Amino acid sequence: MDKRTIVVALGGNALGNDIDEQKVAVAKTAGVIVDLAQQDLNIVITHGNGPQVGMIQTAMDNVVVRYKNYKQVPLPGSIAMSQGYIGIDLQNAIKYELLRRGIDGKVSTILSQIEIDKNDPAFQHPTKPIGRFMTKEEAEINEAHGIPCMEDAGRGYRIVVPSPMPKRVRELETVKTLLRAGHIVIACGGGGMPVVEEDGQLHGVNAVVDKDNVSCLLAQKLDADQLIILTAVEHAALNFRKENQVWLKDITVEEAKRYVAEGHFAPGSMLPKVEASIRFAESKPGRRSLITLLDKATDGLAGKTGTHIHI
Ligand code: ADP
Ligand code: MG
């Protein structure tokens, strides 16, 4: 592959919180992606699925409560549904934007499974907030029923599940094949369906792989040049939301590691982005990571804004 390859991880703000918001959000996101596509890059898009998988799982819960003959859909099944439902909206929006700009582009969505280690220590410490936001009172009721909850970056309470590290993207060769054929590829949505392999069979696991971590793994395996994490803030910050807040612009892996150790980044939101960025940047000379606002992707790639992390 001669073209530079970038892996673009889309956060919740790229997709919206419900069906109506998603239609509007993906149209805007498609503009951002096609701006990048016009720079002659191989592009792989990953995305979160928090609100969408929460909606699907809630719907499935209600079906089980109301109708005797329905069985509960396990979380990996709901993740698969969310990959399809988000992927098709995103794929169509990007195709439409390409068409609108007179570009003959191809876009594909790949249902993706991620192998994890069933002995991952994450199963002892759930860290990943999923689903709808709740009040403290609602969270306490869940906790009383043995469903762990946590406060999420000042935005309310959510259910929290284990977030094991991704070990292998099962559909890696498919992604590579489509890139070589000139497709923009949407893969590993919602972090991918977590699976373990036993006797040649893949079994779903009740967990959520962080989309920033899986994006880092995918970027390494594709030998990408840049990992770009697009989110709701233009920069990662030290002393976030405090009086002495400092936006980070260009930092080394060493500096980033120190800031992680000092506890500047919230677990479950900014911490996995910075950790994934560090891991990608240090995995091979020349690799760089960028964390920035969705709207600033092009400026970020040009080095004009965002938090850049490199060796
Ligand atoms: P996404 O859906 O894009 O993954 P998250 O909400 O998981 O977004 O993570 C991004 C959020 O992390 C930001 O919007 C911000 O509120 C929060 N955050 C926590 N710590 C920091 C920090 N140190 N610097 C910047 N943002 C932070
Ligand atoms: Mg997140």
Per-residue model confidence (pLDDT) at position 70:
87
Which protein residue has the closest C-alpha to ligand 1 atom 3? 11
**SS3 per-residue string spanning the chain:** CCCCEEEEEECHHHCCCCHHHHHHHHHHHHHHHHHHHCCCCEEEEEECCHHHHHHHHHHHHHHHHHCCCCCCCCHHHHHHHHHHHHHHHHHHHHHHHHHHCCCCCEEEEECCEEEECCCCHHHHCCCEEEEEEECHHHHHHHHHCCCCEEECCCCCEEEEECCCCEEEECCHHHHHHHHHCCEEEEECHHHCEEEEEECCEEEECCCCCCHHHHHHHHHHHCCCCEEEEEECCCCCEECCCCCCCEECCEEEHHHHHHHHHCCCCCCCCHHHHHHHHHHHHCCCCCCEEEEEEHHHHHHHHCCCCCEEEEC
Evaluate the CA torsion angle 72, 74, 77, 83 in order and state its sign: positive
Angstrom distance (rounded) from CA 74 to CA 220: 30
Q: Which of 11, 13, 42, 48 is catalytic?
A: 13
Per-residue model confidence (pLDDT) at position 268:
76
Reported pTM:
0.93
17 an active-site residue? no
User: Residue 283's closest CA among 204, 229, 216, 238?
Assistant: 216
211 an active-site residue? yes
Per-residue model confidence (pLDDT) at position 252:
98
Nearest ligand to the C-alpha atom of residue 133:
1
- Closest ligand 1 atom to Cα of 11: 3
Is residue 12 within 6 Å of ligand 1 at its C-beta?
Answer: yes
The residues, ordered by sequence, that sit 6+ positions from 29 with a Cβ below 8 Å of its Cβ are 10, 14, 15, 90, 93, 294
242 an active-site residue? no
Per-residue model confidence (pLDDT) at position 227:
98
Q: Which of 49, 128, 191, 213 is catalytic?
A: 128
Angstrom distance (rounded) from CA 75 to CA 131: 11
**Ligand 1: distance of its center to the CA of 255 in Å?**
19
Per-residue model confidence (pLDDT) at position 60:
83
**Ligand 1: distance of its center to the CA of 153 in Å?**
7
Is residue 52 within 6 Å of ligand 1 at its C-beta?
Answer: no
236-261, pLDDT tens digit by residue? Answer: 999 999 999 999 999 999 999 999 99
Per-residue model confidence (pLDDT) at position 54:
87
**Ligand 1: distance of its center to the CA of 110 in Å?**
27
Is residue 1 within 6 Å of ligand 1 at its C-beta?
Answer: no
Per-residue model confidence (pLDDT) at position 197:
96
- Closest ligand 1 atom to Cα of 12: 2
12 an active-site residue? yes
Q: What is the pLDDT along the chain (311 residues), one digit of tens a residue?
A: 579 999 999 999 999 988 999 999 999 999 999 999 999 999 999 999 988 998 998 888 778 878 888 887 888 999 999 999 999 999 999 999 999 999 999 999 999 999 999 999 999 988 887 877 889 999 999 888 888 899 987 889 988 889 999 999 999 999 999 999 999 999 999 999 999 999 999 999 989 999 999 999 999 999 999 999 999 999 999 999 999 999 999 999 999 999 999 999 998 789 999 999 999 999 999 999 999 999 999 999 999 999 999 99
